[in-house]
Structure 1
Amino acid sequence: MKVVDLLIEARWIVPVDPAGVVLENHAVVVDNGRILAVLPQDEAASRFSAKSHKRLEQHVLIPGLVNLHTHAAMSLLRGLADDLPLKEWLQHHIWPAEAEHVSEQFVYDGTLLACAEMLRGGITCFNDMYFFPGAAADAALASGMRAAIGLITVDFPSSYATDADDYLAKGLAIRDQRLEQPLLSFCLAPHAPYTVSDAGFAKVLTLAEQIELPIHLHLHETGQEIEESVQRFGVRPIERIRRLGLLSPALIAVHGVHLEAHEIDLLAQHGCSLAHCPSSNLKLASGIAPISELVAKGINIGLGTDGAASNNRLDLFQEMRLAALLAKQQSGRADALNAHQVLHMATLAGARALGLEAQIGSITPGKAADLCAVALDDLVLAPCYEPVSHLTYAVGREHVSAVWVAGRIRVEDGQLIESNETGLIKLALLWQNKIRP
């Protein structure tokens, strides 16, 4: 009998790959941080002896969720200047607050707070875009969380860097210093077409091709963004970046709210991925992304929360439910986006966009044991006819009972194992007093 690190038995297991499968009374065998086997519980008991044994009698076990777009440190700006149009919100409130307060310590503390929130909600990996990415990487590692760290590029100076060359040089140095960290990966993160010049994009593209990194970019978020691009460059943003050569399987286009049919075709033809952030899009009145049309074209779509300043939750269960409901309303078809498809978006699709599909995103032997257990024994979830339907339409992040990252437990009985929640709340209050005395 083989001795392994961990054996998890669950009432239901949803591996995500193969699609549409729900396994009943199965077990996941974990050793050295990786999934060794997925098999019926009786067979697992006869073949393996585990150092740690977890029984989840009325739970569904799913892959850890992948938050494909966020600005984690902006958790410290949660609720600042709500209910304003995007441009006013950014230019008169968020950007001035950032100019005054953003520092390495701000990013480290804000990312710690975000990681705690995300882990408690079943998110095991996040794709970040913000200043001082080294501080974000260190906070993710301190939290024991997997992160794709965006090496941000903009054309304007900040407390972090002076110009596009400086942003890229500092970002590459951060990557080089942390290449051996197994929980970290990296993206090039030019902020948006309206904050990056053609020359800046050219440098990003050259680097992306040289070191094979994804490109994480806001694209077609608002109608105003498109109008300004037509005035400045004579074309819509997606056409501009097409001419610059950025449309490729490496591109993670964030938002994609205002897309015409031929632009959807372009994304499909070039194998681009899209990060869909429904709550943020609605809260900022940016619009509703044409998800049913994007799905019909076979575009890889993951889910993101955006930052807590514009959502105000880092909650992928909420994004799953909203994505499904909006797709139904927009298309006029109740079957436009089913529960299994939405769970795929929140897991394997996000992993694929980040180039991590061989490592995470499904409960598959050989992959890292990034796992999330959801308790379905709550009164408000009874009865349960179909667990994946519950995950999309009924479950809340409060029902997450256990979370593992690379086989190491990070949340148990709904509580963070290694984070001081009281200390994090005090930290957030200290920053609140600085930002708005």
Structure 2
Amino acid sequence: MQSLQLKIISLIIFFSITLFASTVKVDSLKLNQKIKVDSIIVKGNDRTENFIILRELTFAVGDTIDNKIIHFNKERIFSLGLFNRVEIGVDTLNVSKIIINVEETWYIYPIPFWYVEKNSIKNLTIGFDLVWNNFRGRNEVFHSVVGFGYDPFFMFQYINPALYYNQKIGLSLGLGFYHLKNKNETATKILNQNFSYKIIKLNGGMFKRINQFNLVGLSIGLDNIQNELNEAKIFMASNKSTDRVPYLSFYFVNDTRDLKQYPEDGNYFYLSFTHKGFNLFDVSYNITKTDFRFYQKMFSYLTLKERFVTRNTFGEKVPYYDYSYLGYEEKIRGYNNIYFENRDYFLTSYELDVPILKEWNLSFDLPLIPKSLTSARIGIYTSLFFDSGITYKNFSELKLSKFNSGYGIGLVFLILPFEIIRFEYSLNKYGKGEFVIANKYSF
């Protein structure tokens, strides 16, 4: 099976490189040429409102721009995830007139998913992720996910980034129902058995876009978490079988990345503080999270990526279900089926990406199928990576000898704006190797 996968990968690489040799990248301006913009026109946006596109631009009428600025803005517009193709050029008769050509994508599609915990088919969860984007042309998102099997759940989310366009204010709403197995192995060992939670989540929030790069937000919510095993109530925040947890969260985002789906340049900073409980229902604790990412081009074709992410909990009593875990949402590559838990975690990652096929706009016609489903931006990259992380209770435990580290090599296929597929082989500090297929970018 593994040898067959490697053969398929080799054929795809060969086919893509052959096609790449026949493509030509066209710049809208001559090298080092600068122009002063006197007008901006958007074409091809049959559904998307002009302002959704124009507010991504870092230049305006009257500004002087060059190819570097044009390329960055092209990538920022593509990062919206609303288009199969974006081109920014100049009018052939009036070089000061900027023309933005976009090709709308398909906006509603189900994505099947599955995942297995602890490397056992008995712990299989399968389901569908249904996304409906841009249904009114304002980049709104209806997002629902349903899962069956080991951890059944249903989740719904609505995001409107332009609720009040002039004030740059957006809205988010969420609702979820979950029946999840306990993830805390310490609790399982203490009770000598595992148990489940029934969880209902309700939340809403407002966020303000300060400019193209900065955003602040506030969200409120209520979680109702019911423990199905009476003996396990000692692990709850209230020491009861059910925790009712109101919360308030503040967050700040600074994002200067070029292509958000797979960045080559820029930074991403995320900071959040959440207070849970307010001493109501005998619950009171806090969670902070930071996520710093740095992307830097090297020698014009290599990209060096760095990431530092932390999650910290503190308060009178932090329930086991809200501890910090590595191995689920955040992973150390090389430890795909190994889980780490404690009050806090720290994770760092380094990656060096080399393009095989940087950008190829694929488009073909099929009968009865909309062209928005048969067009995509294709890219292929190889990567070298190193991850290292630790879970801990206090800072005195932060010792290099206690970190778990992994390293390896990967092959990444971009099928934008639809999908990203990663094939990775990694080794952990014990020399044990693993092959992983994932459907999102590492960071």
What is the TM-score normalised by the length of structure 1? 0.29
What is the TM-score normalised by the length of structure 2? 0.28
Bigger Cα Rg = 2
More strand by share: 2
More helix by share: 1
